[in-house]
Structure 1
Amino acid sequence: MGVASSGKTTIGTKLAERLGVPYADADDFHPPANVAKMSAGTPLNDEDRRPWLDAIAAWLTAREREGGGVVSSSALRRRYRDRLRQASPDVFFLHLDGSEELIAARMEKRKGHFMPRSLLRSQFEALERLEPDEHGAAIDISGTPEENTDRAVAAVPH
């Protein structure tokens, strides 16, 4: 979990490889209307997110029955994570945590993604950090992709 450009796809892919489980990118679960809205610089609302969260939840449920998986998803708000936990009670959230300045710099270098830089501030405003009763951990993402993946592997219960 984390804001746009925090490394969810990069770290998620590498983490899934190391754990030997399937990987999915939550961006692929967005209906076209959501992608169009974000591409136009308009943040999604909870109604927009409902079918997206339901699709991710279904993927998690299927993976839970088949031995696990890694899905990268912003999951910025507690209620979104609660929705995913309803489908998969053992889900572990890994918050890829970095400063807005670091992530903005990474976002500036990113090519071909629908999320514009103008929405980054709204993502930080929406972010609700993991609470002590949530099954998960936050990791610092200031390192290289390999260093960050090492931190992710160390944080995930095996």
Structure 2
Amino acid sequence: MTSRVVVVMGVAGTGKSTVGPLVAEALGVPYAEGDDFHPAANVAKMSAGIPLDDADRAPWLDAIGDWARGRAALGEGGVIGCSALKRAYRDRLRAAVPGLVFLHLTGDRLLIAARMAARKGHFMTPRLLDSQFAALEPLEADETGAAVDVAPEATVIAQRAVAALRRL
């Protein structure tokens, strides 16, 4: 499992940036924060409460794919956070890195909204959550991955995620 690259996916506020590093640590691989791969124009748009469109996401997904491809080429694996809300986005990432694994963090909209409202200093505003849920296409049966509920605390979510990933 540690030689595979895992994308921690889900709508904003599910805990990708919290759970991802815990999963990476448990697997003994590096973690990359997908938000760091956004071009400045994307960050500005989201900060203004404007949802990204597919054209905005393309260079971001390609940058994440480049990072994942590099990790896979090294044979050392890695974990990266990326919303990967649509099947087309995941297909684009898989085209860059065949064998990519997805960890879908799922949860109740009210819980996620409350967590988003409580966090400080993040460019993704809570008013974009509805657009995130509207765009979300959960993992399909032919996609390698697992879904884990985000209701428990982060360490429990990470433990459940690692267990699920090891079963793949």
TM over 0.5: yes
Residue number in structure 2 paired with 1:135: 144
Residue number in structure 2 paired with 1:30: 38
TM-score between both structures, scaled by the size of structure 2: 0.92
What does 1:119-134 correspond to in 2, within 5 Å?
Answer: 119-134=128-143
Distance, in Å, in 2 between the alignment partners of 1:61 and 1:47 is 21
Residue number in structure 1 paired with 2:156: 147
The superposition leaves residues 59-104 of structure 1 with CA deviations (integer Å, 9 ceiling, x where unpaired) of 0000002210000000000000000001111111000000101100
Residue number in structure 2 paired with 1:88: 97
Distance, in Å, in 1 between the alignment partners of 2:72 and 2:90 is 16
TM-score between both structures, scaled by the size of structure 1: 0.98
Distance, in Å, in 2 between the alignment partners of 1:73 and 1:53 is 8
Distance, in Å, in 1 between the alignment partners of 2:59 and 2:30 is 22
Unaligned runs of at least 5 residues, structure 1: none
Amino acid at match of 2:149: D
Which secondary structure state, in structure 1, belongs to the residue aligned with residue 104 of structure 2? strand
Residue number in structure 2 paired with 1:63: 71
2:3 corresponds to 1:4: no
Distance, in Å, in 2 between the alignment partners of 1:86 and 1:76 is 16
Runs of 4+ more than 2 Å apart = none
Which secondary structure state, in structure 1, belongs to the residue aligned with residue 162 of structure 2? helix
Q: Percent identity?
A: 61
Distance, in Å, in 2 between the alignment partners of 1:151 and 1:105 is 22
Which secondary structure state, in structure 1, belongs to the residue aligned with residue 147 of structure 2? strand
Which secondary structure state, in structure 2, belongs to the residue aligned with residue 14 of structure 1? helix
Distance, in Å, in 2 between the alignment partners of 1:101 and 1:69 is 31
Distance, in Å, in 1 between the alignment partners of 2:144 and 2:151 is 23
Distance, in Å, in 2 between the alignment partners of 1:102 and 1:154 is 24
Distance, in Å, in 1 between the alignment partners of 2:156 and 2:149 is 10
Which secondary structure state, in structure 2, belongs to the residue aligned with residue 113 of structure 1? coil
RMSD (Å) for aligned C-alpha atoms: 0.8
Residue number in structure 2 paired with 1:72: 81
Distance, in Å, in 1 between the alignment partners of 2:49 and 2:118 is 18
Distance, in Å, in 2 between the alignment partners of 1:34 and 1:134 is 27
